Structure 1
Amino acid sequence: MLVLSRRAGEKIVIGDDVTVTVLEVRGDVVRVGIDAPRSVRVHREEVHRELQAANQAAARAAASDEAAAALSSALRPRAPRA
């Protein structure tokens, strides 16, 4: 992990497209501004964790639905052959 010290108004550049600016430091709270292209998703860690959990739950539900459809298809009676 890279650890940097910055003062209010100073910036950190990540790659060619992302800039993080320290807006304010008040006690143990730091406000930052993040300038990034719309294609780069930026979330607070707790929101990111919630999104991951929701995506995993949706993937499990989709896999379960697919498994149920496959089982249903396999159990469906077939017409006798002539």
Structure 2
Amino acid sequence: MLILSRKRGQSIIINNSIEIIVTGIEGDQVKIGIVAPLEMNIIRKEVLDDVRSINQKSITSEGDMESLMEWSKRTKKNKKK
């Protein structure tokens, strides 16, 4: 893992096509902006982990519609923030 220190307004470039910019620092939270080609999918890791978990449960028949609905509600609430 590469660990870099950046200040507000500074950025890093990945693969000459993705720029990650520190747009703000508030307490223990860092706000970042991402500039990337439109064909690149950008998703928060916790959302991806939730989707993978639900998919795995559905494959093993452990999941149920109620769990899926709860996840959907949590995801919608997070989008509004």
Q: Normalised by the size of structure 2, how large is the TM-score? A: 0.63
1:39 corresponds to: 39
- What CA distance in whole angstroms lies between the structure 1 residues aligned with 2:27 and 2:6? 14
- Highest Rg: 1 or 2? 1
1:15 aligns with 2:15: yes
Once the two structures are overlaid, the 10-residue window that deviates more, 49-58 or 36-45, is 49-58
Instruction: Indicate how the Cα distance of structure 1 residues 45 and 11 shifts in structure 2: closer, same or farther if over 3 A, else same.
Output: same
The 3 A distance-change label for structure 1 pair 39 and 27 is same
Q: CA shift at 1:41, angstroms?
A: 1.1
Deviation by residue 1:21-75 (Cα, 9 ceiling, x = unmatched): 00001111100001111221111111111232344456668xxxxxxxxxxxxxx
Consecutive unaligned residues in structure 2, runs of 5 or more: 62-81
How is 1:1-82 mapped onto 2 (pairs within 5 angstroms)? 1-56=1-56
Query: Structure 1 residues 56 and 20 mapped into 2: Cα distance closer, same or farther (>3 Å)?
Result: same
How far apart in 2 are the matches of 1:9 and 1:29?
15
